[in-house]
Amino acid sequence: MTHDMADVLPAYMAVSGRLPAANRAGECLRVETLGEIKNCFDAVLLDAYGVLNIGQQAVPGVPERIAALQAAGKRMLVVSNAAGFAHGAIEERLARLGYQFSSDDIITSRKALLQALKTEPSRHWGVIAGEDYGPDEFGALVLTRLTDDAGAYDAVEGFLFVGAGSWSDARQAKLIASLRNHPRPIWVANPDLMAPQPMGVSIEPGSYGHDVAERTGILPRFFGKPFENIYSLALERLGPNFDPQRVLMVGDTLHTDILGGLVAGVKTALVLDSGVMAGSDVTAAVEQAGVSPDWILNRI
């Protein structure tokens, strides 16, 4: 299911009360490319969808520009909410598109979820994800992938919303009914509401998670941008020698990439030529969202 790009900002505004609050405002300095400000940072955290790729295609020219920054000594990490895919699949896709990132430098909201599950008491989890979501990465957890069997929803002790590719309104109705009858925890491994696709934007797990909150009163636990857990993993990967004030988060969405970067204490840059902001009035969007990046880039 796809929606129009114009739907994205209003959708995030509608759920902003469940998102972290911005702790500062950037200056919204306008520059053409990252190359113009490369002396201002030592490391870059890169969103994937809308920044590195649109659907299954690389954003034109971006693999070459990222490679040039890597050659200049800049540390480049991918920080993505793409929880619905196994890590190896994401790594292979980025390599196929012409990017060169080490496996450990790809930080996903799935990693943040798995990190939290390590300290969670044993529980039978109902998993919402596509058939190829990569259950092996979840180790010895007791998992049941939820589809159309209403009884399976009632049998589990909690829910992991990993990917929305095979989800539907009918399945969401089963989830809501089960939670209303028997409240249980729900963890959402991708807070994105929508994601840019060649023909519009797709509906992502965050949309369904907020729908749960609105219709049941159960507040999901979110993993990924704009929440702190994924940024902690990224900064931990960079190590203690990196000054957060010299780390830059680059993304295309105000309420995920930019808001999360501000909350995490790093610098931020919003990309305009790809992703959800393409063709938008960025000044109006920033004012409406109340989220201001440090830089606004026409392109990477």
The residue among 222, 250, 269 that closes a domain is 222
Angle at alpha carbon of residue 189, lines to 46 and 106, rounded to 5°: 30
- Taking alpha carbons only, the member of 237, 243, 230, 241 closest to residue 189 is 230
One domain, residues 104 and 230: yes
- Tell me: do 206 and 233 sit in the same domain: no
The pLDDT tens digits of the residues spanning 70-81 come to: 999 999 999 999
Asked if residues 164 and 132 have their Cβ atoms less than 8 Å apart, the reply is no
Q: Are residues 196 and 250 in the same domain?
A: no
| Residue 180 CB-half CA count within 13 A | 11
Surface-to-core class of residue 6, CB atoms within 10 Å of its CB (0-12 exposed, 13-18 middle, 19+ buried)? exposed
Please say which residue of 191, 222, 253 terminates a domain.
222
Residue 8 confidence (pLDDT)? 86
Q: Which of 57, 33, 14 is nearest to 196 (CA)?
A: 57
Percentage of the chain lying above the pLDDT 90 cut: 90
Are 39 and 123 in the same domain?
Answer: no
Same-domain status, 101 and 234: yes
Region 172-196: mean pLDDT is 95
Single-letter amino acid, residue 9: L
- Let me know whether 265 and 129 are in one domain: no
Answer yes or no: do 175 and 33 share one domain.
no
Residue 4 lies in a domain: no
What rounded mean pLDDT belongs to the chain? 95
**Within-domain flag for 153:** yes
Per-residue pLDDT reduced to its tens digit, 194-234: 887 777 778 999 999 999 999 999 999 999 999 999 999 99
Is residue 253 within 8 Å of residue 275, measured between CB atoms?
yes
Same domain, 102 and 120: no
Closest by Cα among 296, 237, 260, 242 to 42: 242
CATH code (residue 147): 3.40.50.1000
Q: Quick count: other Cβ atoms within 10 Å of Cβ 96?
A: 11
Domain boundary among 187, 222, 257: 222
Residue 99 domain-assigned (yes or no): yes
In a domain, 77, yes or no: yes
SS3 call for 90: helix
Q: In percent, how much of the chain has pLDDT > 70? A: 98
Least confident of 85-94, 156-165, 272-281: 272-281
- Does residue 80 form part of some domain? yes
Domain count, the chain: 2
**CA–CA dist 126, 116 (Å, integer):** 16
Please tell me whether residues 191 and 244 are part of one structural domain: no
Domain interval for residue 81? 19-108+226-297
Together in a domain, 141 and 88 = no
pLDDT digit string (tens) for 237-288?
Answer: 999 999 999 999 999 999 999 999 999 999 999 999 988 888 889 999 999 9
Task: Assess if residue 23 is contained within a domain.
Answer: yes
